[in-house]
């Protein structure tokens, strides 16, 4: 897999599925297609994390997602959106349109992620027929009313972290590496501990810690039972972000996903935002490489 200047995530809404730590030039021996024998000399923490990220995020995608946010007192709100993300001219661009609730239907977000400056958000408000630009917020701010932070979903470089290998553990009987990653940038976290499958480099869990804390304040989990093998990638279909301090949680379900489809660059423009351009239909899309069109089990 390639030398992409960055990885492509299911930014915006799909980006919530997991914490994203950036890639660097990836050694081909660490590509997801390469078997990683468990019982030989263990790879370094850096190699493990890179492999996990490559496995999970280096893809264009078109997906349907449902996000359910539960407040501390048990009140909930659900949002559904159709999203697409693509690498366009070296930039990761994400396009997401809300389909539910009715009041938000048609509200659309276009996000440009830059390696060297703050991201740009463009929002279309159908009731006002206006497009408005918003600059990015603090990395530790919550993201779209969820328990994920911007820094959980934005583009990062592996060099943004100091990583070290922790003890091997098991999650539901599955052996995992634990990798401790300490942000070197101005982060809302002191450290993140990733639990990465030894079998296929899937990130099954991440614990997020504040300064000096022994207990995490945020936990992101992607149960093994909900992951899907799509081509070279293992994609989580469900994820839960729990903010233990706030007592809130966000459940994300990818109800449908198409990996590496042929997405028209014109979708990712301000013009299409203002014109309420239709989202590309799944049956009209052709995958550019490994293709997978999987619908989630009926809810």
Partner 1 sequence: MEALTRWSLRFPAATLGAVAIATLLMGAGLLRLETDVGYRAFLGADHPQVQTLDAFLERFGGGLPVIIAWSCERTPACESVFDPSALMMAYSVARSLAATPGVRRTESPATSALLVPDAQGFSVRRLVENGQPVGDRAALARRAWIDPFWRGALVSPDGMVGAILLELASSDSASSIRIFAELERVLAPYRTRGFTFHLVGGRVDFVVAAGELESATRRLIPVVVAAISIVVWLLFGSALGVGATLASTGLAALWTLGALGWLGWPQSTLTQTLPPLVLVVGTCDGIHLLARFASETAGGTGATRAARVRALERVSRDVGMPCVITTLTTAGGFLSFMASDLESFARFGVAAALGVIAALLLTFSLLPLLLATLPAARLPRSGATAAWDRALLALVAAAGRRSRSIVVVSLALALLGGLGFAQLRVDVSFEDLYGEQSRIVQWVRFVETHLRRPETIEIELRLPGGELAIDPAAIAQIERSSAFLESLDGLGPVHSILEPLSWIHRLVENDDPSYQRPAESRRKNAQLLALLTLDDPQRLSPWITLDQRRVRLSAEASKVPQERLSAWMKRIEAHVANDLPPEWGATVTGAGAVIHAMVNEIQSTQLRSFALAAAIDLLLVGLFLRSARWAALAMVPTALPVVLTLGTIGLLGVPLDVGTAMVATIVIGIAIDDTVHLLAQYRRRREAGLDRADSISKAVAHVGRAVITTSAALALGFLSLRASPWHSVASFGGVAAIAIVVALVADLVLLPALLLLGSAGRMLEGKTGPPTDSPDPGLRSTAVMSSRRSTRNG
- Which residues lie near partner 1 (CB under 8 A)? 69-73, 75-77, 98, 101-104, 107, 109, 121-123, 125-128, 130-138, 140-142, 144-146, 186, 188-190, 210-213, 215, 217, 245-247
Q: CB nearer to partner 1: give 37 or 74.
A: 74
Q: CB nearer to partner 1: give 41 or 102.
A: 102
Cβ-in-10-Å burial (0-12, 13-18, 19+) of 35 comes to: exposed
Minimum separation from the CB atom of position 164 to partner 1 (A): 20
The rounded distance, in Å, linking the Cα atoms of 161 and 23 is: 11
Q: CB nearer to partner 1: give 191 or 238.
A: 191
Length of the chain: 299
Q: Among 219, 199, 272, which Cα is nearest to 18's?
A: 219
Minimum separation from the CB atom of position 142 to partner 1 (A): 6
Minimum separation from the CB atom of position 77 to partner 1 (A): 4
Q: For residue 252, what are the β-bridge partners?
A: 67, 239
Minimum separation from the CB atom of position 204 to partner 1 (A): 24
Q: CB nearer to partner 1: give 114 or 217.
A: 217
Minimum separation from the CB atom of position 133 to partner 1 (A): 4
Q: CB nearer to partner 1: give 40 or 102.
A: 102
Minimum separation from the CB atom of position 102 to partner 1 (A): 8
Minimum separation from the CB atom of position 187 to partner 1 (A): 8
**222 touches 202 (CB < 8 A):** yes
Q: CB nearer to partner 1: give 122 or 177.
A: 122
The rounded distance, in Å, linking the Cα atoms of 126 and 186 is: 36
Q: Among 132, 49, 64, which Cα is nearest to 96's?
A: 64
- State the DSSP code for 47: H
The rounded distance, in Å, linking the Cα atoms of 204 and 161 is: 19
Q: CB nearer to partner 1: give 41 or 128.
A: 128
The rounded distance, in Å, linking the Cα atoms of 191 and 187 is: 9
The rounded distance, in Å, linking the Cα atoms of 66 and 72 is: 20
Phi-psi label, residue 29: left if phi above 0, alpha if psi -120 to 50, beta otherwise: alpha
**85 touches 94 (CB < 8 A):** yes
């Amino acid at each position: 897999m390639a030398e992409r200047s960055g990885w492509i995530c299911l930014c915006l809404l799909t980006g919530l599925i997991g914490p994203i730590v950036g890639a660097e030039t990836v050694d081909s021996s660490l590509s997801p297609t390469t078997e990683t024998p468990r019982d030989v000399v263990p790879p370094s923490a850096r190699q493990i994390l890179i492999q996990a990220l490559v496995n999970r995020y280096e893809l264009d995608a078109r997906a349907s997602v449902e996000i359910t946010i539960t407040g501390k007192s048990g009140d909930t709100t659900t949002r559904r959106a159709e999203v697409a993300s693509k690498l366009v001219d070296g930039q990761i661009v994400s396009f997401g349109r809300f389909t539910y609730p009715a009041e938000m239907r048609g509200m659309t977000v276009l996000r440009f992620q830059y390696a060297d400056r703050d991201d740009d958000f463009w929002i279309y408000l159908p009731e006002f027929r206006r497009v408005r630009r918003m600059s990015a917020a603090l990395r530790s701010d919550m993201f779209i009313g969820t328990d994920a932070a911007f820094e959980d979903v934005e583009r990062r470089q592996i060099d943004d972290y100091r990583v070290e290998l922790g003890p091997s553990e098991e999650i539901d009987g599955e052996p995992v590496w634990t990798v401790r990653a300490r942000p070197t940038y101005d982060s809302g976290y002191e450290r993140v501990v990733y639990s990465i499958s030894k079998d296929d480099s899937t990130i099954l869990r991440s614990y997020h810690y504040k300064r000096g804390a022994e207990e995490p304040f945020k936990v992101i989990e992607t149960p093994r039972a909900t992951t899907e093998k799509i081509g070279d990638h293992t994609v989580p279909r469900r994820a839960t972000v729990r903010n233990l301090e706030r007592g809130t949680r966000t459940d994300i379900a990818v109800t449908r996903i198409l990996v590496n489809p042929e997405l028209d660059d014109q979708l990712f423009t301000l013009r299409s935002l203002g014109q309420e351009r239709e989202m590309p239909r799944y049956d009209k899309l052709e995958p550019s490489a490994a293709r997978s069109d999987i619908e989630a089990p009926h809810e």
